[in-house]
Chains A and B, each alone.
Chain A
């Protein structure tokens, strides 16, 4: 659960997934967080398929309501490890798909880099959060993935949809559900 102290400099807030709207709306841009619980790994090719499924009115590989998607394609894990390295990929490539998924209950996304105005607007309207993790810290972040399995689109290889369990995964609230963004220049 989230602690009450949501945000003085240097404090780190624990966030448990799945997220409900109230807890999502309580998070503030700039807050350092430790993420725990289930996320779904999906990137370019998986989003293309999921968006096509949504457009055809078909079911998705997982329930979007309250879910969090991590934009990642992990490297393979060695014996006994669910993944090898698992850092974020560039989120903006998924901007074209994200509003449709947020409109259907997706509560959060994890990635790196800025989001489009359309994504931020969908996040404000529906109460979703965007977390940024450190790109290129794949070994460190891979260690925070404690379980994982492919649940759909296995033929996509590194782009298959995976159900991952995170433990103490370090990130920062980069854009909150009020639309405040750390990427807005002019902010200190």
Chain B
């Protein structure tokens, strides 16, 4: 113990560039399997045609090296930094933004960030990234990248429910959020749900829930039961692929919870489109 590992921030930048490339051009394999399964079961003709297009799109993206979606998003970067790491070689945020700038230029990704929400001048290089840092045990750095599109981010919602609203209130809020998103969020969706914490923490929990691999249930049994119930109810809405009707509205629901205040029941729903672009590397 006590040994400090030195990591140059440039290495974190290089890992991030590789994550951006993989997420932009390669559909998650587990997702492709899920989509193919749904395409077999989907009862709506339009829905089936759309699921087929989504799978064909993944093949075209890979073969022709076109991004899976033209909206290559805001670059959301989660860094889990071991507390035995010393970061050298310059400021961390500068290295992260340099990696985003380099990757978006090199891989011909769309630059979708404006410098001020009201003046709305495009920064021209997709920076700055949204960077979340947390300190964890160990001497490594985990880089999680989410390429988050605007369409589904716009349809995401947060509510400060009360203890009396309870589980039914949470289920109702998630279903309402999905129904109101219609075709805008590009279903079939991946639904990230945050429960508890505080106003800012619950949104973070919902976003982090999107990082979880398909098929990996929540650690908490209550969250696990909620995930199964929500997935069933969302797919019973009939919204379907692109909101044009069908059985396939969500591919997965991931719930992350956290203790909260005696007065509160915060809930956040972060919708992700079927172009669920994420990647991870450890340095």
* A interface, CB within 8 angstroms of B: 9-10, 30, 32, 45, 72-78, 83-87, 89-90, 92, 112-114, 132, 134-140, 142-143, 156-159, 170, 172, 174, 182-183, 185, 187-188
Contact = CB atoms under 8 A, between A and B. Distances in A.
A112 B70 contact: no
B241 to A, nearest CB: 8
Given A112-B186, A112-B242, A159-B122, A136 B49 contact: no
Interface of B: 45-46, 49-50, 53-54, 56-58, 60-61, 64-72, 108-112, 120, 122, 124, 149-151, 154, 182-184, 186, 238, 241-245, 273-275
Given A113-B243, A136-B57, A139-B57, A87 B69 contact: yes
B60 to A, nearest CB: 4
Contact of B70 (A10, A45, A78, A86): A86
A140 B111 contact: no
B132 to A, nearest CB: 25
A143 B54 CA distance: 14
B151 A134 contact: no
27 contacts: A74-B70, A76-B108, A76-B109, A77-B108, A78-B108, A84-B67, A84-B70, A85-B67, A85-B70, A89-B150, A92-B184, A113-B243, A134-B54, A134-B241, A135-B183, A135-B273, A136-B149, A136-B274, A137-B54, A138-B69, A138-B70, A138-B275, A143-B64, A157-B124, A158-B122, A174-B244, A182-B245
Contact of A139 (B60, B122, B273): B60
B182 A114 contact: yes
Contacts of B275: 136, 138
Contact of B182 (A156, A158, A183): A183
The 7 A-B pairs of least Cβ separation, nearest first, read: A85-B70, A136-B275, A139-B61, A139-B66, A135-B186, A113-B184, A113-B183
A73 B67 contact: no
B242 A85 contact: no
A115 B65 CA distance: 33
B151 A132 contact: no
Given A113-B183, A138-B70, A158 B112 contact: yes
A170 B46 CA distance: 12
A74 B244 CA distance: 24
Given A75-B110, A157-B124, A172-B244, A139 B67 contact: yes
Nearest to A159: B122
Given A45-B120, A75-B66, 10 more contacts: A84-B108, A89-B150, A90-B154, A132-B244, A134-B50, A134-B53, A136-B57, A138-B69, A139-B66, A158-B122
A142 B61 CA distance: 10
A76 to B, nearest CB: 4
Nearest to A10: B45
B49 A32 contact: yes
Contact of A132 (B45, B57, B111, B183): B183
